[in-house]
Chain A
Amino acid sequence: MAQRFNWLRSGRVITGLVIVTGLILCAIFAPLLAPNDPTEQDILAILVPPVWLPGGDWAFPFGTDSLGRCVLSRLIFGSRIALTVAVFGALGAMVLGSILAHIAGYFGGWVDWVIGRVVEIWLSFPPVILSLILMVGLGAGLQNVILAIILVDWTRFCRVLRSDVMVVAQRDYVAAARLLGFSHWRTITREILPATLPLLITLMSLEMGVAVVVEAILSFVGMSVGAEVPAWGQMIADARADIYSAPWVLVLPILAIFVTVFGFNILGDGLRRTLDTRLTQTERA
């Protein structure tokens, strides 16, 4: 079927892919792209405005912060943290959440009840609060940020996927597969997973955006990778003191976060439309 690569024809998917690919390149080639060392402090060049404002200096295209560090370089290096967290956090949350969702939705009964209660307990924590508390318990560090994201956000996958798995599991073709002698494992992987996969991929894309935001939030309150590593949330927190004198130091990392999250969201939205994630629409034929 020629429809297999239809999703590549969506403007949204392409926009998303362009943004995300750009970020990935930024992260990989950060040492080559950055004009300065992101951690080097230049006491003589504090709060230099970006080049398009009067007083700008091409040595610091986006200006410097209150410690005289190059904003552009810090932004470029910050993408490394953001992407690492996005990829591993979302992947982990997806694996944990979707496995539980498939088990709950397929078997139903008490298994579903137990998993449902666990999700309910998790959902009674606002995500921000739970991730903060987890960070308090686990301590700062990149691995712990990723772990916190997984432990907080698996419920997003579980909650949404579970109801879809239940819809698919009610289909007669699932009963038919069982009656043809398929094991539970085979039924889930061959009959149910192909139907839920598009939604899973879409959620994964959206979750990567969420992970970027969570990392920024944790950096912002000083609970992430530590003040010495360049991260966008940290840059925002540092820049708040100079909100009157140097607003660009605050605006630029805000824009970086927005563009990144928008990239993941528009990609997810495009995938949702083209991959036909709504089962009712799929069956419309």
Chain B
Amino acid sequence: MALLDVKQLTVSLTSKTSTLDAVSELTFQLQPGKTVGLVGESGAGKSMIGRTIAQLLPPGFAVTGGELLFDGEDLVSMAPERRRALLGRDIAFIPQEPLSALNPVLTIGQQFREHLEHIGKGGAGWKDRAAAELEAVHLNEPRALLNRYPHQLSGGMCQRVLIAMAFASRPRLLIADEPTTALDVSVQARIVRLIGEMQKRDGTAVIFITHDLRLAAEICDDVIVLYAGRQAEYGPAEVLFRAPAHPYTRCLELAVPDVTGDPRGLYLLPERMPGLKAIAELKGCRFATRCPLADDTCHMQEPDLAEVAPGHVSACWKSFATEGITPPPAPAAAARGSEKILEARGLSKSFVTNWRLFGGASHFHALKAADFIVRDAEFVGVVGESGSGKSTLARTLIGLETPTSGTLQLLGRDIIGTDGGTRDWRQKQMQIVFQDPQSALNPRRKVGSIVAQALEVGGPSLSAEALEVRIRDLLSDTGLSQEMAARYPSQLSGGQKQRVNIARALCRLPRLLIADEIASGLDVSVQAQLLNLLLRLREELGFSMLFISHDLAVVRYLCDRVLVMSKGEIVEHGETEVVFSDPQHPYTRSLLAAVPKGVRVPQVEELSA
């Protein structure tokens, strides 16, 4: 018997007037010890399954159909006491944000003890048991760790603690909801391996929720691709990744750049996934509006989930017609100029961390003697993990931090510690696009006012008509429709906000853009649109860009040259293709090795941390 048997599960947002389905007729089985991946973009409904199992649905949501059988018992209709007894003991969860999933005012030991008591392993000697569990997840000095508080640990360590807690009861089912998204690439790889190792030890079945199809292909037995709350495809991971039956699976894969292989273009899915309201109004296939293969049937009739091969189902009228979907050719190499736009020599920044009245102060060197050049119309990528100094570099370049030493020249002009005139000139020539559009856009300004904000000061004031024209141009340049000008940022989607963010920086046509993680946290289809937008804008407007990112594949797709940073130092730099195909520095090699490539990882044998 399957450990988890999900039959036609439907979860809806119900109100007095309407019922909107967030998950429709989800059906799958999970055998003991196996791993199923739930893959999809945000809003696809992939987190609902975990919340349904724990019966912790957001307000207004409820199960409106189907069954959710755990070992033959229906989790939906079960008495709350019975469910609480299962939760934490037979069914365990690993959260997305390890740092915020532990209570900040309780020690690791207090929380571990509470959990051990709940699963019936408390009482005398709990410390030994807790320490043993922490040792099993390869944490050093587990006993000392019990007295520490969550904020004293790194994100990776917190996640290990949570994994140790989850596996303390030898659970039969584990739900891991994007357990690595908030972590650095190299930590990500280790956490994924650790989950696999523990799973093998206890014979646990795992539901692995992720937006990353490649990661799912590497670690899952089966994969379910969700689109707008419905299963698009469900089958063996290998097959799904190499030869998908559903066009959405194929498009999803082609929308993401690779770190290896021949350069290719990104497949551009138009528009966005329909929201709950839009789904309810659709008649045909939910993907039809964006599908490259759609015809009249697709728009009129919703396809059922049909078996296309043994153990492989797909909800499409044209299953296996996906070879027809090919990626566009790789973007043409840009005509890079030779003019030096930005030149940094020995640029350093250190912060005083522990200032004392007597005995001096200790310093933290966030940026150590960085040397680099950005040339005309060149995109230079900066990669590295958190704490590598990427953001300090960006803030120093743009003038939000003053460098401790070194020189910085913009178009041959010194720009450190200079007078007001130079500062105005610098601000015209160099602009930053901030990472988080939520924070970067004033919620009380309309989009039109935001993009033309730079024209409010400096230089002659424009007439109302000229301002209108500029706003219109900026919106159309960044692919936004004209009516957006009258909206507030809160009325835009994440991708649209990021476009507004870019439009504002481009308003006075700077020669250099500093972009700090601007493609992170976006859905893959939105990310592909944004990357292509940047390439097109370079062709039309001719600017250079320093593109900071933790995502190596994105940097490879977008950038001509790359700087690899680690602990405040540039450890390797060069032409992107050369660095990626033949990395010299061990750090670069380990970064590249940690990126998921969609190849099934052989089952864990003797891997340690």
Contact = CB atoms under 8 A, between A and B. Distances in A.
Interface residues of A, number: 20
Interface string A270-283: 00000000000011
B427 A180 contact: yes
A177 interface: yes
B439 A172 contact: yes
Interface string B425-451: 001100110111011111110000000
B551 to A, nearest CB: 20
Contacts of A186: 456-457
A32 to B, nearest CB: 44
Interface in B264-316: none
A1 interface: yes
Nearest to B487: A1
B453 A177 contact: yes
Contact of A1 (B400, B453, B488, B507): B488
Contact of A180 (B435, B439, B443, B454): B454
B457 A172 contact: no
A173 B427 contact: no
Contact of A181 (B427, B435, B440): B427
B440 A176 contact: yes
Interface in A149-193: 171-173, 175-177, 179-183, 186, 190-191
Contact of A179 (B431, B435, B441, B490): B431
Given A175-B434, A180-B454, A195 B444 contact: yes
B504 interface: yes
A285 B497 CA distance: 12
B346 interface: no
A145 to B, nearest CB: 37
B488 A173 contact: no
A285 B434 contact: no
Contacts of B507: 180
Contacts of B399: 179
B352 to A, nearest CB: 14
A180 B454 CA distance: 5
A148 to B, nearest CB: 36
Contacts of A171: 439-440, 442
Contacts of B424: 181
Nearest to A173: B442
A226 B456 CA distance: 54
Given A180-B457, A181-B424, A285-B438, A175 B443 contact: no
A139 interface: no
B457 A179 contact: no
A175 B400 CA distance: 8
A194 interface: yes
A285 B443 CA distance: 9
A255 B400 CA distance: 56
B460 to A, nearest CB: 14
B458 A173 contact: no
Given A1-B488, A182-B457, A283 B434 contact: no
B398 A173 contact: no
Interface string B450-480: 0001101110000000000000000000000
Contacts of B488: 1
Contacts of A173: 439-442
Contacts of A191: 442
Nearest to B455: A180
Contact of B432 (A176, A181, A190, A195): A176
A10 B444 CA distance: 22
Contact of A176 (B428, B434, B444, B458): B434
A176 B439 CA distance: 10
Contacts of B444: 194-195
A282 B457 CA distance: 27
Contacts of B443: 195, 282-283, 285
A179 B488 CA distance: 21
Interface string B488-509: 1110000000000000100100
Contacts of A172: 434-436, 439-440
Nearest to A285: B490
Contact of B453 (A180, A282, A285): A180
A199 to B, nearest CB: 13
A1 B488 CA distance: 9
Interface string B561-573: 0000000000000
Interface in B93-146: none
B446 to A, nearest CB: 9
A275 B427 CA distance: 35
A194 B446 CA distance: 13
A179 B432 contact: yes
B544 to A, nearest CB: 17
A179 B444 CA distance: 19
Interface in B395-435: 398-400, 424, 427-428, 431-432, 434-435
Contacts of B431: 179-180
B369 to A, nearest CB: 25
Nearest to B507: A180
Interface in A242-285: 282-283, 285
A164 to B, nearest CB: 14
Most buried by B among A171, A175, A179, A182: A179
Nearest to B400: A175
A107 B587 CA distance: 40
Interface string A189-231: 0110011000000000000000000000000000000000000
Interface of A: 1, 171-173, 175-177, 179-183, 186, 190-191, 194-195, 282-283, 285
Given A181-B454, A195-B444, 5 more contacts: A172-B440, A180-B431, A194-B442, A285-B443, A285-B489
Closest 3 CB pairs of A and B: A285-B490, A172-B440, A172-B434
11 contacts: A1-B488, A171-B440, A172-B439, A172-B440, A173-B440, A179-B399, A179-B432, A181-B454, A282-B443, A283-B443, A285-B490
